[in-house]
Amino acid sequence: MIEPLENKDLNLTTFVCTGSLTPTEIETQLSDFYKGSPTLHTIWDYTGADLAALTAEKIHDLVGFLKNTSHSRAGGRAALVFSMEQLMAINDRMSSLAELELEQGTIKIFDGLEKAQAWVVG
C-alpha cells in the first residue's frame, strides 16, 4: 500500500509505503502524481514495505518512467528512504537505481526519514 501525504507549505509529497509492494502499484502512484499538479519535492519512505517484487528489471522500468516525467518538477528533490536491512537486501539491485539520474532534479538515497526530510526541505 502507498499512502501519499501532501504538505503544501513545504511543496512536498511523502509517499509512505507499507506491506508487499508491487512495481505496478508504484507506477500507478507515480502516474496519478504526475497527472495533477505534482509537488516540487518528494520522499518515498520504503522502510515499512516488502521490496521482494522489485527486481532489477522492474526498477529499470520505473527509472525509465521517471526519466520521461521528471521535467514537470524541474529543480525538485526526491529522496528514497530505506532501512539498513533493506539496503543490504537490495544491494544487488542498486545498479538499476544508480541509473536514475534526472537532468532537472536531484535524487538521493537515505537510511532514515529524518535525514531525508532535512535534505529535501533544507
pLDDT 10s digits, 21-47: 998 999 899 889 988 889 999 999 999
Domain range for 64 is 2-121
How many CB atoms within 10 Å of residue 3?
A: 11
Per-residue pLDDT tens over the stretch 76-119: 888 889 999 988 887 777 665 655 555 556 778 899 999 999 99
Q: What is the mean pLDDT of residues 57-62?
A: 78
Domain count, the chain: 1
Q: Identify the CATH number of the domain in which residue 16 sits.
A: 3.30.750.24
Q: What is the pLDDT of residue 70?
A: 62
